[in-house]
Structure 1
Amino acid sequence: MDTLILEPSLYTVKAVLIMDNDGERLYAKYYDDTYPTVKEQKAFEKNIFNKTHRTDSEIALLEGLTVVYKSNIDLYFYVIGSSHENEVMLYT
């Protein structure tokens, strides 16, 4: 099966999340229907936070998605894209 790789654009970002140091959502914006309901979104966010809040790395592959993140004292910033996306593009 051929994989379609698109040129980078703003549509390559699937979601932007900001969470507090307890993993609670402060801001969430989903740009597609990967997680259509709030219940699915919150479950995904909980999974992301549990996998990333204790690590010092800035990139993760979770549930077939590329997750780049940065922590700042008591906030966590996440940008989510497809698994085919360039991590540097998502990070900037």
Structure 2
Amino acid sequence: MVYTTMEGALFEPTLYIVKGMCILDNDGNRVLAKYYDKDVLPTPKEQKAFEKNLFNKTHRANSEIIILDGLTCVYKSNVDLFFYVMGSSHENELILQSVLNALYESVSILLRRNVEKRILMDSLDAVMLAFDEICDRGVILDSDPTSIVGRAALRTEDVPLGEQTVVQALYNIMNNNY
């Protein structure tokens, strides 16, 4: 199956929808970022330049979407953090928006509704796990915040060792919980 865009370009449908996700602080500095397509922003230097440009274009805007450097970017801000999800220019914005909402709501639940940089930095490991639970190499895995948090939360006494993720087990071993 091949789809045609309004410009007449042909492209194959793919599951690799998300090109990247990032969280920036109110100065435009990276707090957390993950890029999934090596053809788009392959080096950290290019990623940082893109993030700086993205922040400069969006930190004062009232919209929720922008096309920048051939990427469709949806975003949301709260207090001192900006959340971004990027996809290709022909990607469906509603799908990207659902990923953004899943990311924001998951972080909000993990941080107990206090979505601020200082609190996020204290729970960075759980937020990183949430990133991984939402998307794997650009393929959307889940968009339900409660199930994402259920798998990403670092619970020590509730989860038996055999059912923990590797990160949870290492965390518990390092903190002598076993």
TM-score normalised by L of structure 1: 0.92
Distance 1:23 1:68 in 2: 16
What RMSD over aligned residues (CA atoms) do the two structures have, in Å?
Answer: 1.2
Structure with more of its chain in helix, by fraction:
2
State the Cα deviation string for residues 24-44 of structure 1 (Å, max 9, x = none): 000000001111111010000
Q: CA separation of 1:27/1:87 partners in 2, compared to 1, >3 Å: closer, same or farther? A: same
- Checking the alignment, whether the CA contact within 8 Å between 1:5 and 1:84 is kept in structure 2 is no
Identify which of structures 1 and 2 has the higher relative contact order when contacts are C-alpha pairs closer than 8 Å and 6+ apart: 1
Asked whether 1:68 is paired with 2:74, we answer: yes
Aligned-pair identity in percent equals 62
2:22 to 14, 17, 22: 17
Answer with 1 or 2: which has the greater Rg. Answer: 2
1:84 to 72, 83, 90: 90
Structure 1, unaligned stretches of length 5 or more? none
| 1:2 Cα deviation after fit | 3.8
Question: Moved runs in structure 1, 4+ residues, more than 2 A?
Answer: none
Structure with more of its chain in strand, by fraction:
1
Structure 2, unaligned stretches of length 5 or more? 1-7, 99-178
Distance 1:46 1:59 in 2: 16
Q: Give the match's secondary structure for 1:46.
A: helix
**1:46-57 equivalent positions in 2, closer than 5 A:** 46-57=52-63
Question: What is the aligned length?
Answer: 90
State the Cα deviation string for residues 35-81 of structure 1 (Å, max 9, x = none): 11110100000010000000010000101110000001110000000
- Checking the alignment, whether the CA contact within 8 Å between 1:14 and 1:30 is kept in structure 2 is yes
TM-score normalised by L of structure 2: 0.49
